[in-house]
Amino acid sequence: MVRSMSAAGVPRDPAWRAAFEAVPRHVFVPYYYAGDGGRLWAGDPDEEARRRWLDGAYADTALGTRMRDGRLISSSSQPSLMAGMLDALDVRDGDRVLEIGAGTGYNAALLAHRLGDGRVTTVDLDPEITESARVHLAAAGHRPAVVTGDGARGCPERSPFDGIIATCALPSVPRAWIEQAAPGCRIVAPLATGLVALRVEDTAEGRVAQGPFLSTSAYFVALRGAPERDEDAVRHGAGVPRHALSNDLFRFLLALSADSIGPLEAYRLWRHAHRPGRERFGVTVTDAGQWAWLDDPDGPHRWPLPPL
């Protein structure tokens, strides 16, 4: 798995490579849902099924781990995507990190291996998920703080944080994270279908978090409790050519701007800007609000993001 990730250029930081080599992923996914809808698990009496489970645990792919009412509510993210996010988090020895979305506990274990158990906090709303993550982490020899609570509120009692990383999709950046960040904190979070990487700084105008999106696409389970977006409006933009609606980069812009500008206006912007990639977009968060932008935070192409 690590060789496959290295061939793709991640992780860049040797310390993260060492973490992926050391932390056993299979401990965190004792069962998961296969592509055919069936479930693979470590205790299957069939030897071939157990082999498939183990092979899948070390494939560079996302694994669905928890369903409720037919809906995926938790997963183990694709390792190479996790590695890219951890690289972007830009941690240093001694940093304190908050993870939003405990999932299986695997990402928290990687953080704990890199930084030490006492410097990692992972939060999830679902007590079943946090208890399961706690058990997996202990089995792998790690005991970071695992907190059951609303990830949008962060974890003020363990702040300030030097890094905040989210493994659930968001419509905007929660204000609580900015308030719990130490100056210089890096925030890496899924927004729309991309990953935004913000740096928090104190300025004369107040605290500001700002930064661009990474170039990679990212599809995560949504933060529970966040406002639902109208997916039909995203999929079927009136007046927008079908080829654009099927284009991943345009759909990113459409998802990022769906609460502020219409599909046709988004299409015109996309065409005018020569079909920009994710890395040309960014987000700014201030005391007065937050907005997404194309090319320039203070330029003409920007729009507000909904409050969370």
Residues 6+ apart with CB under 8 A from 172: 191, 290, 305, 306, 307, 308
What is residue 253's predicted lDDT score, i.e. its pLDDT?
A: 95
Catalytic residue among 6, 74, 246, 257: 74
Please give the Cα distance from 7 to 121 (Å, whole number): 31
In terms of phi and psi (left: phi > 0; alpha: psi -120 to 50; beta: otherwise), the region of 73 is: alpha
**pLDDT higher than threshold 80 for residue 228:** no
Q: pTM for this one? A: 0.94
Do 89 and 186 touch, CB atoms closer than 8 A?
yes
Do 128 and 73 touch, CB atoms closer than 8 A?
no
Element at 209 (helix H, strand E): strand 206-212
* 172 noted as active-site residue: no
Do 156 and 90 touch, CB atoms closer than 8 A?
no
Give the Cβ contact number of residue 230 at 10 Å. 9
Q: What percent of the chain has pLDDT over 70?
A: 95
Query: Domain ranges in the chain?
Result: 14-23+77-212, 231-304
Residue type, 80: S
Structure-token pair, residue 115:
């930084």
* 14-23+77-212 maps to CATH 3.40.50.150: yes
Pick from 64-68, 101-105, 108-112: least confident: 64-68
